Homo-oligomer: A and B are copies of this chain.
Amino acid sequence: MQDMEKDDRIIGLSKQMWDEYLPHISVDSVVFGFNEDELKVLIVRMNIGKQWLLPGGYVRKQEDIHDAAQRVLKERTGVEKVYLQEFGVFRSINRSEGYFGQYDDDLWNKQRFISIGFYALVDYRKVDLQIDQLSDSCEWHSIGAMPELAMDHRKIYDTALTVLQQQLSYKPIGLNLLPERFTISDLQKLYEAILGKPLNRGNFYRRIMRFGILVKHEDLRTGGAHKAPNLYSFDPVKYEESLKGIDW
């Protein structure tokens, strides 16, 4: 990492962090939203260096790590009780020590941190993005147009996307990314956005129906040029049931 200007606010916060937070553990979240047929990810630009990072933070001494991840996301998005899934532990030695290399060794942030990775699925329309005192921007970026991410955050993001793609193979995804009622075509577009490729409509329909998780509604979506398509929603009980895997 090149020599970089120091952010006095990070130095100023260090003592308080040592007093109030648990050293060596951090949380980082890959927040996915779906809008205009594109999968988007929430990223934050730091004041100093103008580098992009995933939204992350530290854990208070008596705080649960999932609560810490929720708190960080609430500060960023205004949304509470986001759907969060732990998906991996990011642990390379020097991941934080190196990133804060220009600071003194006793800086809180320069210690060795092992980061618990979460992915979050949020309703894009409900999010109200916020900057904080260390960042000057917080934005959605389409997964096809992500800027460079600092530290090991590209690896965290890549892993989250791969996990999400793999999970599509055996469990449904969509409950938290789509509005309550949607068409099969909306759901297919979401799957296509996650997988990054077009899917055959007939195969998609058959596979989704095999999960047995959709409820078909009487009302149709109106306003389009074509025949109005049926609206569906997820059956929450069957959705939960299907997450358990197949019955041999």
Binding site for B on A (CB under 8 A): 22-25, 61-62, 64-66, 86, 88-89, 91-93, 112, 114, 116, 165-166, 168-170, 191, 195, 197, 199, 203-204, 207, 244-246, 248
Contacts and interface: CB of A to CB of B under 8 A. Distances in A.
A88 B202 CA distance: 37
Contacts of A112: 22, 61
A24 B65 CA distance: 12
A122 B199 CA distance: 39
A105 to B, nearest CB: 13
Given A23-B23, A24-B23, A89-B116, A166 B65 contact: no
A115 B116 CA distance: 11
How many protomers of this protein does the assembly include? 2
Given A23-B23, A24-B22, A25-B25, A65 B114 contact: yes
B168 A248 contact: yes
Nearest to A165: B245
Interface centre among A23, A169, A197, A207 (most CB of B within 10 A): A169
Nearest to A116: B89
Contact of A191 (B23, B61, B204, B248): B248
A168 B245 CA distance: 9
A58 to B, nearest CB: 12
A168 B93 CA distance: 33
A207 B169 contact: no
B88 A86 contact: yes
Q: Which 6 pairs show the lowest CB-CB distances between chains A and B?
A: A169-B245, A170-B170, A166-B245, A169-B246, A65-B91, A24-B24
Contacts of A114: 25, 65
A216 B88 CA distance: 36
A198 B24 CA distance: 45
B65 A170 contact: no
A204 B248 contact: yes
A51 B49 CA distance: 52
A165 B247 CA distance: 10
Contacts of A62: 93
Contacts of A22: 24, 112
Nearest to A245: B169
